[in-house]
Structure 1
């Protein structure tokens, strides 16, 4: 009888272990971009319809009152006027060629003119001084150093196509030939990128200085392929500034060499990547969009009610903060904040009750230790241990609820990788990152991208200043 009880106990323990493994495998299969940190590109073609965590707003769809429209409007004076006169009467077929105009109706067509490259010949004249006989030669402009060459307009346009729109080298040359009937080489496009990269270096240093002085800093990183090996592109940004850096490492070494994060003393927003916490001179803010997705995963894969309650608490706090900001407030009432904290901690308690610590177990090697925690328990530990970071947006209205800004800034590299697959050289990756940082900063400040690149080549890059 005792042996039977022992066997039943062993079988029950085996079933329990198998159930845990099945649950973990099922949760892994259920992961996608809406319930984990996986990117949408890994969802596959059979991904379910998106389930947004946002609540419906009160505004109707479409343009809002006061919205500045972009409807095409007639311009005066037009570049060209074409007159269309009736040749004969539609009734009696009489000749109208000599009849004066009694009225008219105008319609305008906006179109592209024939595209062509303009050729400017620079002639350096020679003059002999009548007084002393010295031969004097005129000087060519600084960048005119060959008998035949392309100018800054062509250089900036090639770099613009390749870095802003991710058009590969071969297709950039094809597009240029189709548009302007000039056959460029791929090496010219690479030289164009190099020239732009060198011209925006002063802007890059100014951006880094401004980022260090900012109150809020968004950071993120994403993997890229360089020379067939894994590298990382790091981003540090604000709503007006963007800086990218390429490094072989993902962690603290790369962040230190990037030269922004170690000097930053404001609030840094990130997705809880552990190396960020090595920098203790600044405050940290959690990306709650990531945590909401993980909570959705707990609801769907483990069917635990506390996770749904925590989603409600975080969304309620965000709603209260957004409403207060609209009214011009700079903080929530102390009583309201205390109530939110109480609700937050109650949900944590419910979560821990549903996820007790696993019992100590003896491993196959004979060493005793605690079992690996479940994902719900790990998420609970993070929400508890980093409660201040999670709720920093509630206590400091300058801190955003999520890290979507840097995720938008880093998203472009995934598009680049889908188009090109990899960078052939580290230099090419670094030049691409520097140009993209300059382009992003210019765009955030309302500047024309192509014009900003041309200005940089002319020695006048956009240089942001510390506010």
Structure 2
């Protein structure tokens, strides 16, 4: 082959190598599932294992000592139906003439008839006989119009739509079928707006309380507004939840929520780059790392990832059980560093491609090893700070309901609707975490006497 053809051969070889790398990446992506990536379990094949938990040997279901829930009889029933003994005994004695010696009771617990309860307010009008001045009694503040629905109907509409993600039309159908209330989509939307407005003070106190927490969790997921991609964000802890809705996924959304830019504690997240712009201390979710290490080990055959995954699982369980010694911790840290270096050696840096601008694309294995090396202190923070958890499951549990909302009733008709939903959902989630009654809380909003959760736990 002529010398002039050699540059073309090298160019073809480089192109072929690039195509083969892309093909390998595509194959790897096709093999991903929830155990080896961030893919949600709903997209897994039915036979894919679902859990990272270690087998305990115990049978499934409730364990010995578990406090069960049994339907019990009420002490004071609302209605008593006496069932008399009638007829005659075999000897001919009429049962009507025999004194009752005992009664056996059984109860049926059911809902009463559900219908609208109409209360009519009649404001008296009087005319002074001396000066003929006309005076009228004032109507209550919650009765501004000629006819309106009460706080329980509005609370139920919000409960169905925001807590259980029932779409507006189906919410209207349910209310019509159950209690004969003919609410329009607009009336339900108005209820949501009123609830959001009256929860403004709650949200202000919630943000103040979150800033006092030592550890917060953060996550985000896609959310449509009129078919356009937007983002729902969550900042939470064990007792408090704040949701936010924004057209962007990055720092602008965090700034708009006005919590994390001011937070000085430890923030647990999944290594999304926008979080690293914050001044808080950082801790990374190790559940994400376990899945990525598993993928490298099982799909790409990189044993260093499998060994590191096993070592991390072992030290996590020992640390959780309180059996991890100082020597064991030091040994694990040495193992961690050695295996991460092995990952870098197994995935050498890709050379820049001639004529291609920007940095050369690195392999999945190298990027993961680099992340573990660069953010070593954040990955292992749970070993040195007892307040920091191992994973970001708190935020993922809180954001999961937004995914259910997206699947069940789609997106929002407006950005304002998304923000109203998030504020109401922040309220109901916080009530639920603190064991308070969500229904009573929603009704209290429309009585203009909002039931507040505990912000000083």
Superposed pair shares fold, TM > 0.5: yes
Distance 1:47 1:26, change over 3 A: farther
Structure 1 unmatched ranges of 5 or more: none
CA offset digits 1:410-466 (Å, max 9, x no partner): 111111111222211111111111100110011111100010111222233215424
Q: Distance in 2 between matches of 1:357 and 1:90?
A: 98
Residue 375 of structure 2: aligned partner: 386
**1:334 and 2:337 matched:** no
Residue 314 of structure 1: aligned partner: 312
Residue 255 of structure 2: aligned partner: 256
Q: CA deviation at 1:91?
A: 3.9
Q: Distance in 2 between matches of 1:225 and 1:309?
A: 41
Q: CA deviation at 1:25?
A: 1.8
**1:465 and 2:451 matched:** no
Q: Distance in 2 between matches of 1:272 and 1:128?
A: 73
Q: Is the 8 A contact 2:230 2:246 kept in 1?
A: yes
Q: Is the 8 A contact 2:116 2:179 kept in 1?
A: yes
Q: CA deviation at 1:336?
A: 2.9
Residue 28 of structure 2: aligned partner: 27
Q: Distance in 2 between matches of 1:300 and 1:458?
A: 58
CA offset digits 1:193-247 (Å, max 9, x no partner): 1111111111111111111111111011111111221111111111111111111
* Matches for 1:424-439 after TM superposition, within 5 Å: 424-439=413-428
**1:410 and 2:399 matched:** yes
**1:163 and 2:159 matched:** no
Q: Distance in 2 between matches of 1:437 and 1:23?
A: 43
Tell me which of 313, 336, 355 is aligned to 1:344. 336
Q: CA deviation at 1:58?
A: 6.6
Residue 85 of structure 2: aligned partner: 86
Q: Distance in 1 between matches of 2:18 and 2:89?
A: 92
Residue 323 of structure 1: aligned partner: 321
Tell me which of 447, 450, 453 is aligned to 2:439. 450
Structure 2 unmatched ranges of 5 or more: none
Q: Distance in 1 between matches of 2:358 and 2:395?
A: 39
Distance 1:296 1:197, change over 3 A: same
Q: Secondary structure at the match of 2:235?
A: strand
Q: CA deviation at 1:153?
A: 1.1
CA offset digits 1:77-128 (Å, max 9, x no partner): 2111112223224746764233322333211111111112211111212345
* Matches for 1:238-277 after TM superposition, within 5 Å: 238-277=237-276
Q: CA deviation at 1:69?
A: 2.6
Q: Distance in 1 between matches of 2:163 and 2:300?
A: 43
* Matches for 1:5-16 after TM superposition, within 5 Å: none
Distance 1:66 1:459, change over 3 A: farther
Give the structure-1-normalised TM-score: 0.90
**1:206 and 2:192 matched:** no
Q: Secondary structure at the match of 2:314?
A: helix
Residue 301 of structure 1: aligned partner: 299
* Matches for 1:29-428 after TM superposition, within 5 Å: 29-43=30-44, 46-57=45-56, 61-64=60-63, 66-89=65-88, 91=90, 95-127=94-126, 134-280=133-279, 282-324=280-322, 333-358=325-350, 360=351, 362-363=353-354, 365=355, 371-428=360-417
Q: Secondary structure at the match of 2:68?
A: coil
Q: Distance in 2 between matches of 1:394 and 1:230?
A: 38
Distance 1:273 1:120, change over 3 A: same
Q: Distance in 2 between matches of 1:84 and 1:188?
A: 48
Q: Secondary structure at the match of 1:97?
A: helix
Give the structure-2-normalised TM-score: 0.91
Q: Secondary structure at the match of 2:233?
A: strand
Residue 429 of structure 2: aligned partner: 440
Q: Is the 8 A contact 2:431 2:453 kept in 1?
A: no
Q: Is the 8 A contact 2:142 2:447 kept in 1?
A: no
Q: Is the 8 A contact 2:196 2:420 kept in 1?
A: yes
Q: Is the 8 A contact 1:217 1:266 kept in 2?
A: yes
Q: Distance in 2 between matches of 1:249 and 1:14?
A: 36
Q: Is the 8 A contact 1:202 1:463 kept in 2?
A: no
Q: Distance in 2 between matches of 1:53 and 1:226?
A: 35
Q: Secondary structure at the match of 2:382?
A: helix
Q: Secondary structure at the match of 1:232?
A: strand
Q: Distance in 1 between matches of 2:237 and 2:62?
A: 27
